[in-house]
């Protein structure tokens, strides 16, 4: 721009960013352009087709960082701006080699055997059927199991382990050392007597089946809350006496067994 006769040009107070430098554009003083990783300020009006370089027409206004370069196995990288992530890179991480990538996953683990250690790593995904299973050191999903017990015989000890499940009808049987469910040896020897609506003690009851050498091996109360202290049962031929403290009404079932 040519100044009119008699006028003197004043420096502009601000700066105008003109973007990337173009050789076909015309710049005035204090225009700013981006070129060769630097921000340049124009020093002379009506500047055109003058490539920015330090001198009378242009001066460096701001040093702009360049694009970083990644490191390699044999050379260090250089500092600068990192490349913009592309669409789809939103979950990736920026690597030292200058690329956007996902962190590598560790290898799958290998299970131990009876003669070799396993290796650490990712465990295999459980299937739907494994939702209640546990992960074993051999690398598989499984449920803990116990070896079945073996019963004793007259000449050999048994071994510890899980007892067999009782089948329907075994609900009143006992498990024997032989490893089977059998009827209790007391089943046909115990005398069962029930006293109804007992509200006070002691109480003596006559029963011809009771003998003086019998003892009570088990007792049940339909209302256990009424018992307020220790109870005792004494026997004689033809009767028995229940003694103790009571604070209410209950049925009492007693099981008698002859002493050996």
CATH of the domain at 41: 2.10.10.20
In a domain, 76, yes or no: no
Q: Which long-range contacts (CB under 8 A, 24 or more apart) does 102-111 make?
A: 109/139, 110/139, 111/136, 111/137, 111/138, 111/139, 111/140
Closest CA to 197 of 247, 245, 249: 249
CB 108 within 8 A of CB 121: yes
First to last CA, the chain: 133
In a domain, 148, yes or no: no
In a domain, 254, yes or no: yes
Cα 110 from Cα 122, distance rounded (Å): 9
The token pair at 241 is 């006496």
In a domain, 240, yes or no: yes
Query: Final residue of a domain: which of 63, 78, 93?
Result: 63
In a domain, 131, yes or no: no
Q: Name the 3-class secondary structure at 124.
A: coil
| E strand or H helix that includes residue 204 | strand 203-206
Average pLDDT, the chain: 89
Q: Compare 34 and 185 and report the one with higher pLDDT.
A: 34
The token pair at 249 is 């009404």
In a domain, 155, yes or no: no
pLDDT of the residue at 133: 93
pLDDT tens digits for range 195-229:
999 999 999 999 999 999 999 988 999 999 999 98
Domain range for 30: 16-63
**What is the mean pLDDT of the segment spanning 153-172?**
88
pTM of the model: 0.34
Q: Compare 167 and 259 and report the one with higher pLDDT.
A: 167
Q: Looking at the predicted structure, is the pLDDT value of residue 7 above 80?
A: no
Residue 78 pLDDT level (bands cut at 50, 70, 90): confident
Cα 144 to Cα 109, 116, 134, 136, 150: the distances in Å are: 21, 22, 8, 9, 19
Q: Looking at the predicted structure, is the pLDDT value of residue 185 above 60?
A: no
In a domain, 206, yes or no: yes
Residue 137 pLDDT level (bands cut at 50, 70, 90): very high
Number of domains into which the chain is organized: 2
Q: Looking at the predicted structure, is the pLDDT value of residue 11 above 60?
A: no
Burial of 211 (0-12, 13-18, 19+ CB in 10 A): middle
In a domain, 125, yes or no: no
Query: Final residue of a domain: which of 43, 63, 83?
Result: 63
Cα 50 from Cα 26, distance rounded (Å): 9
Quick one: what percent of the chain has pLDDT higher than 70? 92
Cα 190 from Cα 259, distance rounded (Å): 11
**What is the mean pLDDT of the segment spanning 80-98?**
91
**How far is CA 243 from its chain centroid?**
57
């Amino acid at each position: 721009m040519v100044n009119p006769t008699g006028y003197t040009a004043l420096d502009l107070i601000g700066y105008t960013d003109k973007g990337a430098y173009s050789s076909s554009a015309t710049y005035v003083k204090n225009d700013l352009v981006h070129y060769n990783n630097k921000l340049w300020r124009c020093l002379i009006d009506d500047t055109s087709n003058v490539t920015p370089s330090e001198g009378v027409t242009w001066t460096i206004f701001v040093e702009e960082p360049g694009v970083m370069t990644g490191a390699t196995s044999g050379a260090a990288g250089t500092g600068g701006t990192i490349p913009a992530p592309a669409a789809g890179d939103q979950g990736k991480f920026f690597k030292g080699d200058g690329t956007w990538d996902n962190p590598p996953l560790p290898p799958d683990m290998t299970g131990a055997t009876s003669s070799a250690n396993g290796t650490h790593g990712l465990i295999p995904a459980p299937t739907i059927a494994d939702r209640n299973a546990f992960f074993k050191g051999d690398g598989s999903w499984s449920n803990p199991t116990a070896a079945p017990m073996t019963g004793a015989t007259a000449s050999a000890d048994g071994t510890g382990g899980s007892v067999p499940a009782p089948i329907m009808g075994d609900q009143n049987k006992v498990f024997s050392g032989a490893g089977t469910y059998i009827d209790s040896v007391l089943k046909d020897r115990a005398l069962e007597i029930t006293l109804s609506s007992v509200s006070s003690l002691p109480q003596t009851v006559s029963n011809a089946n009771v003998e003086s050498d019998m003892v009570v091996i088990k007792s049940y109360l339909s209302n256990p809350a009424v018992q307020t202290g220790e109870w005792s049962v004494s026997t004689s031929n033809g009767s028995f006496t229940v003694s103790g403290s009571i604070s209410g009404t209950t049925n009492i079932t007693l099981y008698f067994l002859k002493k050996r």
